[in-house]
Every structure is written in C-alpha cells, then in structure tokens.
Amino acid sequence: MIIFNYDYFVLNDLISILSEDEYAPFVKYLKARNRRGDARNVDLFKAIVSEKEGRLKTELGSNAYNVLRNRLKHRLIDFIAQSTLEKEGSTESEQSKTFITGKRLLQMGKPESAFKLLLKLERETHEQENLTLEGQIQQFMISYAHLPGAPNLGELRKRSQGNYEQQRIQTQLNLAYAQIRLAYQAVEFEGEKIDLNELINRTFAEYALSDEIAYSFSSLRQLVHLADIHGAYTKNYHDVNLFFIQKLESLQGGKSDNAENAMDHIEMLYTIANIYFRKKDFDRSMVYLEQMKGQMERFSFNKEHAYRLKWSMMQALNLNHLGRFEE
C-alpha cells in the first residue's frame, strides 16, 4: 500500500501558484527573515523551482530536508497571504484593523468612541455585503450593549437577525451551486444530459431559494459561467438561455455595483459577450464588451492586465466578423 505524504505536495502546490514575477520578491522576503547566515530556504526554493531538489536532499539528509521543507511551507503561506491582501483585500484588511481598534477601545473603557467607530464600520460592511465581518461587529456590540453610547438593542437585534438570515441564505446558495457543479461533472465524466434551466430551478427549489434572494453579482457570475459551460458541452450556444441578463440589469447601478464586486461584474460581462459571440450575435457581444470596458475604467482590480487582454482579443474577433477591419 502506497502512503502519500500530502504535506510534501502542499509546498509544491504553493510554489506552483506563484507567478514568475513573484519569485524575486519571495526570495527577498526569505532573506529579510533569515536570522542565520546558513539558512538554506532560498536554496531549497530555487531547487524546487528548477526541479533539482534531489541533490539538496542528499546533501542535507532526509530529516533536515523535511524540516527545511516544512519551514519553507510556512514562510510561503505567510508570503502568499500578505501579497494577496495587498492585491485583493486592502479594503477588507483596513476594515479588520478598524474592528480590532474598536474592540480595544471598548475593552479599555472608551465606549462612546468605540461605538461610533463600530457603527460606521457596520454600515460599510453592510453596503459592501461583507456578511461575515458585519455579523462579527454586531455580535460584539450586542455583548457590550449595556455600556454608554451603545446602539438601541432592539434595532441592533433586528440587524443582527437580518445578517444571520443573509448568511443562512448564502450558505444555501453555496450548497446549491456546489450541487449544480457536481451535476455538470456528471455531464463531463458520465455523459449525462442536463437541462440547465430545469436543473437550476429544481436545485433552487430544493434549497428554498426564491429569485429575490438567489441573485447577487457573485451568484449571477456562477450562473453565467454555467451557461457558458452548458453551451460548450452541448456545442450549441444558440440554445443557451440568457435569462440572467435581466437579473444583472437590476443590480447595475445599485449599492452592490461597487469596487468589491467589480471582479465578478467584469468577468460576468466578458462571459456574456463571449456567449453572444458564440451565438454569432456580434453586435450584442460588442454591447457587453463596451459595458466591460466601462467597469474596467471605473475600478482597479486584481488581474486587470489579463482582463484587458481578454477584452482586446474579443473586441478584435467581433470587429473582424463585422467586417470593421480598420478599427
């Protein structure tokens, strides 16, 4: 019986998700944290990248080599987390810092300032649909609701119950989409045929998800992606039902049409443009590419360069099919 050391694969997987542009910053990060001059973590990282770690393992011996791999793994986890926060989660990181500050103010006997800070943060997280942090803030304020400056307990209870219900719904949504994706695996691996609309309606009914609660930028992006997969699997984009476009239009321009949801919004617009392109409706595809361009100009976001490249390629394909070669 072969026993796999999954920790061994974790380090290799972590290294594999680094871009080549991140190699040098990671080496610099390692060197800055090495307290001993004979640390070999940089050597190990370079050996794994070049697929020549066997020589280093022989030199160090199995035990020392495994200890070194484990230490490098933890350094890499820390580096990836920090760089991801810098690229994607600056707003969330700042909100977490504000929450920590508010908690300390309360614990140190400064309730008026603490509640002022926390109430403002609660509003921000609610508008940005950061349900987890919003719920944590509400629970913390409830536990200190007897102090001066605390919000009205009845109103806070209503907001907390509303947040709890939204998180419950989000859990149901995640379960529903997981079930839908598993059904698509059956299509791919077992050759079953699935009616996308019937599958979605049946799954939403199973999890008691109404139209009013089942659609957000995140959930719609998943539906659009599924529709694209459906067209690719069946090789019949003509019959792909774009029922979700009306749902998207109801979200555009609303409070949730913000920087936090920009990535989902942009990816959705690109996928819709691609579906229309596959339907050979090039004019409609151009409409959604124009919307995508507008969203990219509104916000800076992670992988911006990659999406601008996708936009340019899709734009060129549409113009070519429309005979507008000069543009």
Residue 261's pLDDT is 86
Residue 8's pLDDT is 64
Query: Does residue 97 sit within a domain?
Result: no
Query: Does residue 159 sit within a domain?
Result: no
CB contact at 8 A, 259 and 299: yes
Do both 74 and 125 map to the same domain?
Answer: no
Residue 92's pLDDT is 74
Do both 172 and 294 map to the same domain?
Answer: yes
What are 3-54's pLDDT values in tens digits?
445 566 788 888 888 888 889 999 999 999 888 777 788 999 999 998 888 8
Residue 212's pLDDT is 62
Do both 73 and 119 map to the same domain?
Answer: no
Do both 303 and 218 map to the same domain?
Answer: yes
Do both 130 and 180 map to the same domain?
Answer: no
Residue 6's pLDDT is 52
Query: Does residue 125 sit within a domain?
Result: yes
Do both 245 and 139 map to the same domain?
Answer: no
Residue 213's pLDDT is 64
Query: Does residue 156 sit within a domain?
Result: no
Q: What is the pTM of this model?
A: 0.61
Do both 179 and 239 map to the same domain?
Answer: yes
Residue 193's pLDDT is 66
For residue 136, the enclosing domain spans: 106-149
Cα–Cα distance measured from residue 189 to residue 327, given in angstroms and rounded to the nearest whole number: 42
Q: Which residues of the chain have pLDDT under 70?
A: 1-8, 87-90, 184-185, 187-194, 196, 211-214, 301-303, 326-327
Query: Does residue 61 sit within a domain?
Result: yes
Query: Does residue 273 sit within a domain?
Result: yes
Residue 211's pLDDT is 65
Do both 117 and 196 map to the same domain?
Answer: no
